[in-house]
Amino acid sequence: GENVEQHPSTLSVQEGDSAVIKCTYSDSASNYFPWYKQELGKRPQLIIDIRSNVGEKKDQRIAVTLNKTAKHFSLHITETQPEDSAVYFCADEDTGRRALTFGSGTRLQVQP
Amino acid sequence: DTEVTQTPKHLVMGMTNKKSLKCEQHMGHRAMYWYKQKAKKPPELMFVYSYEKLSINESVPSRFSPECPNSSLLNLHLHALQPEDSALYLCASSQAGTGNEKLFFGSGTQLSVL
């Protein structure tokens, strides 16, 4: 089955710094790569996604880049704020089953 | 209404009990999902319904039985669970289940099996 590796497992940054989380996938047919944010005790929520025909997508302080050749994609958060503290999950979609496989998660802590 | 509503929020049950988890959405979505999430782990897919038909069963034990009475409702019937089944059970929906779609998650049911 599909495998998604996510690094790092924890990340601590100072407020205002940038944060980068990286994921690697195995299925070369994967074509959809969303990122979900889960605050403590809350539901996962989509923050940004990218499709395989696009190399980069940006939404205010959040950006995602995709390298299909290397089969990896990354989440970039600039000017981090304490409210960015959460667990972030990358995912990719198994094109055959049309179901998401999630990475193991990254706990981001933004220190004020 | 852009929410997926799950009830109950918390559930404690014994290994011989029968209980049901309920999920509801009124966004007109035609795909609904059950995920299981253990503490500090990612959500793991259990079942997918697309247009009220079961399209994916991730080899889930038969003590978990899903049901989709209509396009707005999704149930998960629980029977003879084990303590290791204790977890957060998340329901989600998406527009059509055709891929490349945003998942809308409910807040989950925190299940404890004693």
The verdict on a CB contact (< 8 Å) between A99 and B45 is yes
How does pLDDT run along chain A (112 residues), one tens digit per residue? Answer: 678 999 999 999 999 999 999 999 998 888 899 999 999 999 999 999 999 888 999 999 999 999 999 999 999 999 999 999 999 999 998 777 778 999 999 999 999 9
Cis peptide before B66 (omega within 30 of 0): no
Give per-residue pLDDT as tens, B25-70: 999 999 999 999 999 999 999 999 999 999 999 999 999 999 999 9
Looking at the complex, report in whole angstroms how far the Cα of residue B55 sits from the nearest Cα belonging to chain A. 9
Of residues A24, A67, A47, A31, the one with CA closest to residue A108 = A47
**Mean pLDDT score of chain B:** 95
Q: What's residue B79's pLDDT?
A: 95
Residues of B in contact with A46 (CB under 8 A): 102-103
d(CA A70, CA A63): 18
B11 close to B19: Cβ distance less than 8 angstroms: yes
d(CA B78, CA B46): 13
Of residues B26, B31, B4, the one with CA closest to residue B97 = B31
Of residues B41, B49, B47, B20, the one with CA closest to residue B87 = B41
Which of B3, B48, B100, B102 is the best mutation test for A, with the most CBs of A within 10 A?
B100
The verdict on a CB contact (< 8 Å) between A44 and B90 is yes
| pLDDT band for position B1 (cuts 50, 70, 90) | low
Q: What's residue A2's pLDDT?
A: 73
d(CA B77, CA A5): 32
